[in-house]
Amino acid sequence: MLTIKILNSPSKGTKRILQRKVCDDQIKEMLQNGNEMAIGLVQGSVADVIMAADVAEKASNVEISEINGNCPQHITMIGMFGDIAAVNEAINVIRTWQKEDTTKK
């Protein structure tokens, strides 16, 4: 099961937190430049999160990056960075994929 959240126009403090948690320099620069953006957050098992990242990136114009936490062995989180419409589309595609995936089990 995935935990899914959307941040529209994240605050400066939230962007600073994410800059420390993201290893991707391109994403760090995007956060630092203060561009108007949205961030989709998806947390879950490694397999589910990797599948969600692939589905989202193929369906929408978002940049994907892993967000490091305290328990990378069992639970991981990705961020989807882009404009509000792109992030919303990515999240909608993930939710649809997740519903379809659970009905197949």
pTM over 0.85: yes
In single-letter form, the type of residue at position 40 comes to G
Domain span at residue 58 reads 3-104
Number of structural domains in the chain: 1
pLDDT value of residue 76: 86
pLDDT value of residue 68: 86
Residue pLDDT, tens place only, 6-37: 999 999 999 999 999 998 999 998 888 877 68
Paired strand residues for 41: 5, 79
The structure tokens 């193929």 sit at 58
Sheet architecture: strand order including 63-67: 3-8, 38-45, 75-82, 63-67
Residue pLDDT, tens place only, 30-75: 888 877 689 999 999 889 999 999 999 999 999 999 998 776 556 6
Q: Which CATH number goes with the domain that contains 89?
A: 3.30.70.1710
